[in-house]
Amino acid sequence: MSEPYIMLKDICKSFGSVKANNNISIDVNKGEILALLGENGSGKSTLVNMLSGIYTPDSGSIYIDGKPVSFRSPKDAISAGIGMVHQHFKLIDVFTAAENIVMGQQKNVITRTKKMEEKITELNEKYGLSIVPGKKVYDMSVSEKQSVEIMKILYCGADVLILDEPTAVLTPQEIDALFDILRKMKSKGCSIIIITHKMAEVLSISDRVTVLRKGESIATVKTSETTPQQLTEMMVGSAVSLEIERPKAELSEKPLLSVKNLLLKNSDNVPVINNMSFDVYGGEILGVAGIAGSGQKELCEIIAGLQKATGGDITFDGSSILGLSPHAILKKGISMSFIPEDRLGMGLVAGMSITDNVILKSYNRNPGPFLDRKFAKSLAQQIVHDFDISTPSVNHEVKKLSGGNIQKVLLGREIWLNPRVLITAYPVRGLDIGASYNIYHILNEQKKKGVAVLFIGEDLDVLKSISDRLMVIHNGEIVDTVDPETVTKEDIGLMMLGHSREEGDAV
Amino acid sequence: MDILNEISLFLQTSVQMGTHILFAIVGGIICERVGNMNLGIEGMMLMGAAVGFSTACATENPLLAVLAAGAAGMIGALIYAVITVSFRGNQVVTGLVLTIFGTGVAGFIGKSVSGNIIPQSVSEAFAPYSIPVLSDIPIIGKALFDQSFYVQLAIIVAVLAYFYMKKTKWGLNMRSVGENPAAADASGINVTLYKYVHILAGGFLCGMGGAYLSVVFLTTWQDNVTAGAGWIAVALIIFSTWNPLKAILAAYLFGMLKGLNFKMQGWGIQIPSQFLEMLPYVATVVVLIFITLRKKKEHQPPKSLGNPYFREER
């Protein structure tokens, strides 16, 4: 066998006292797709960031085509033909697709729009992309933005593509389209490294898999010779069950939370939430599936009292909660935890300790102007203990925790309030398998206690297995509410794009 | 008197009164477009005014005076850039300190030249000259073509800055730095270099703006010669929505308000000058409200304005 095209050897990288990468070695051939699999904090992103020049390794070496290279900045990596699509897109909203693609890469001093557009069209055809050069990024859907990122790499002639969790925000149809593009690139001789959590995708797209755990490479296996069970075990380090439980719980007689004809218009008078009506009963998990930006955030905010609805009504236990202050709603027993894309934007204050973040919601316990720190501290310790949060102490700044632990702090704080309705949006966003199952377990426990859970999610496999009922929304409207046990993923995907089931094949 | 002629003369004065502001706005826009809010414009202008004036007196060379003024502004900008870009200090505080520092430096240098007037060789070089035919265009002819070269230079600089930002690869790259430095970095753009170059260029223009006041407009030294023009420029940057072409409009509108002030005194209309000086700020607040309401993405401030950039931040 010939020498691999890209080789990383014995890479080490530390952040402070944390060893993010410890003697990791991977290699990729031309025309091959390598999947990097590992839990959060296993060092996948750190590793590829060094290959793309964002970080510099503490020790170890990188070889391209047999020659050692050292990247001091992304510029070096780009000129070596390595491009990366980041988990959070690095695009500029107010620029057009073409401007984003060429920035930093132009040879001519004066921008020649026409020539740029011709080249983009040419590459569009070659790789089966469909980018409109003049379209502004802020007008694009998530998958369009991703195409622009990929095009950006192809445009500067790179033949090594790194994708960091590219499918996290895509619908099943969009994922298929992306994989088609990747296969096409592979057939043209590109090397591709893809990071993903989703086992099914690893199996369908990759040729080989390298499993990382706690900053070390555990094994590299041929995809065709492995099973999801084996990969998971390597990833977690012990045998785990891949089944998500769906325990039966007793439903409350009347719905705990009921939303009627809810309407919300934005400043341009365009409905963001359009005539939504649904009920959530105690003891069930109502799943909500939809493309990002279909009104999930607004729905959460209205229920939690952070936004005013334009019309309609929301009742909790028979009485309307619309127009109440967030505090009053919280007091009634409705808790909301929304995990935004950056995980910290809503709910927690990044620069404050766990204790201080707990105080944010428990300060009302005692009257008077002074905080009961002692209580908050013991509560924080209890949450840390109950949810198995790994942190040096409760005085640790939240932003220094890993993603999974941050989310556990958020969820733990809400659950401590003993809510009767728990609204949780993207609670496992970006979490690894172990941490995700922990969260599913927590949600199921709440359901068994008779709490009404509204679960807004993005992974359809998870939504299908954990929800008792599954509501699909598109553009602020409910397309349908389906039985998660009988519906197929493809049908959900179509509904997320706004096709009702009658239009397609009936299930 | 011929009303057209009157208007044309009025515009001519307005343009003269807006020129130093135009330099400052364009300098400020260039700086803010790479994501650095520089509240030190007033300080850099004052440094430019003082150094330009004393160089003109000492060397009697107009070109040296302009270059020295620009360099003085650039030194102020360099201090600012080192603190905000390399050390990632707070931009607002650093800018404020730069203004205080510049005011002090200008006062210090100005003391030694106070009482001097600009030597003839310099004032002749910057004297208004009229371009035949073009200056006879009704209304705007005098405003644009019967002026000092320094005045016309301001317009040329603004137009060039616009062209640079919109049409060249460096312009695209520098705007990307101000919008999203992480994205620019990932695209192979040297963020630190771009920030330094443009902050320094902005400082150069601010220094030139200050020198216009002392060397060309007043031709004598006067303490605190800018009289808050740097602050008005900060406001007018927003007014012009970070677009150098609109900066021309903003600067000359301001010049017209100033000119109107004089005119009205001549006509015997008593409006407190403070009221007219307030107007640019009022206009800026109105524009701010307007762009916030319209939410047109292109008119928003550069997205990472005010934020330091550190690549390995987690």
Q: What is the dihedral of CA A482, A485, A489, A495, to 10 degrees?
A: 0
- Angle of helix A172-187 relative to helix A142-155, nearest 10 degrees, comes to 10
Find the domain containing B183 and state its range.
3-299
Min Cα separation A153/chain B (Å): 9
Residue A79 lies in a domain: yes
Residue B207 near residue A123, CB atoms below 8 Å: no
Q: According to the model, what pLDDT value does residue B314 have?
A: 44
Q: Is residue A382 part of a domain?
A: no
A134 in B contact zone (CB under 8 Å): no
The per-residue pLDDT for range A13-34, each reduced to its tens digit, is: 887 777 888 899 999 999 999 9
Give me the half-sphere count of Cα atoms (radius 13 Å) on the Cβ side of residue A331: 9
Nearest Cα residue in chain B from A57? B312
From B168, B298, B303, residue closest to A109, measured CB to CB: B168
Is A18 near chain B, with CB under 8 Å? Answer: no
Residues A492 and A425 in one domain: yes
Q: Report the pLDDT value the prediction gives residue B292, as an integer from 0 to 100.
A: 73
What percentage of chain B has pLDDT greater than the value 90? Answer: 67
**% of chain B exceeding 70 in pLDDT:** 98
**A103 → closest Cβ in B184, B293, B295:** B184
Radius of gyration of chain A (CA): 24
Residues in B touching A57 (Cβ below 8 Å): none
Closest chain A residue by Cα to residue B179: A92
Q: Percent of chain A scored above 70 by pLDDT?
A: 93
Total domain count for chain A? 2
Write out chain B residues lying below 8 Å of A162, CB-based. Answer: none
CATH code, A274: 3.40.50.300
What residue type is assigned to position B106 of the chain? A
With respect to residue A176, please indicate whether it lies within any of the assigned structural domains: yes
Same domain for A189 and A295?
no
- Give domain status of residue B247, yes or no: yes
Does residue B289 form part of some domain? yes
Instruction: State the best of B33, B163, B169 to mutate against chain A, taking most chain A CBs within 10 Å.
Output: B169
**Are A103 and B189 inside 8 Å of each other by CB?**
yes
**What pLDDT sits at residue A343?**
57
CA distance A75 to chain B (A): 4
For residues B196-204, give the mean pLDDT. 97
Pick from A88-102, A271-285, A390-404, B43-57 the range whose average pLDDT is largest.
Answer: B43-57
pLDDT of residue A438 exceeding 90, the answer is: no
Q: Do B176 and A103 touch (CB under 8 A)?
A: yes
Backbone angles phi, psi at B56, to 5 degrees: -60, -45
CA distance A11 to chain B (A): 17
Helix (H, G, I), strand (E, B) or coil at A93: coil
Asked whether the beta carbons of residue B172 and residue A84 sit closer than 8 angstroms, the reply is no
Contact B169 A86 (CB under 8 A): no
How many domains is chain B partitioned into structurally? 1
Instruction: Flag whether A457 is in a domain.
Output: yes
Q: Do A111 and B297 touch (CB under 8 A)?
A: no
Interface of A with B in 359-378 (CB under 8 A): none
Return the H-helix or E-strand segment holding A334. strand A334-338
Whether A296 and A442 map to the same domain: the answer is yes
- Which residues of B touch chain A, with CB atoms under 8 Å apart? 167-170, 172-173, 175-176, 179-180, 182-190, 293, 295, 297-298, 300, 303, 311-312, 314
**Any residues with CB less than 8 A from the CB of A391 and at least 6 apart, and which?**
A354, A384, A401, A405
**What are the structure tokens assigned to B306, written together?**
């005010």
Condensed to tens digits (0 to 9), the pLDDT of residues B132-161 reads: 888 888 888 888 999 999 999 999 999 999
Q: Are residues A224 and A290 in the same domain?
A: no
**Is A286 inside any structural domain?**
yes
Residues of B in contact with A79 (CB under 8 A): 188
Helix extents (H) in chain B: 3-33, 41-59, 62-81, 91-113, 120-125, 140-145, 149-167, 169-179, 181-186, 191-211, 229-239, 244-267, 273-294
Taking an 8 Å cut-off on Cβ atoms, the answer to whether B169 and A74 are in contact is no
ipTM of the complex: 0.86
Residue B311 maps to a domain:
no
By C-alpha distance, the chain A residue nearest B304 is A92
Q: What is the pLDDT of residue A506?
A: 39
- A52, closest residue in chain B (CA to CA): B186
Q: Which domain holds residue A159?
A: 6-236
Q: In the beta sheet, which residues pair with residue A212? A: A38, A217
Is A70 in CB contact (< 8 Å) with chain B?
Answer: no
Predicted model pTM: 0.78
B187: in domain: yes
Is there a contact between A141 and A9 (Cβ–Cβ < 8 Å)?
no
Most confident of the ranges B37-46, B219-228, B287-296: B37-46
- Residues of A (323-362) whose Cβ lies below 8 Å from B: none
CA atoms of B271 and A47, how far apart (whole Å): 68
Whether residue B233 lies inside any domain: the answer is: yes
Asked if the structure places residue A67 within a domain, the reply is yes
Are residues A291 and A153 located together in one domain of the fold? no
Q: Do A94 and B300 touch (CB under 8 A)?
A: yes
Same-domain status, A187 and A301: no
Q: Do A50 and A133 fall within a single domain?
A: yes
| Cα dihedral A299, A304, A310, A312 in deg (nearest 10) | 80
CATH number assigned to the domain comprising residue B98: 1.10.3470
Average pLDDT score, chain A: 85
The pLDDT tens digits for A92-119 are 999 999 999 999 888 888 888 888 899 9
Q: Please list every residue in chain B whose beta carbon sits closer than 8 Å to the beta carbon of residue A95.
A: 172, 175-176, 179
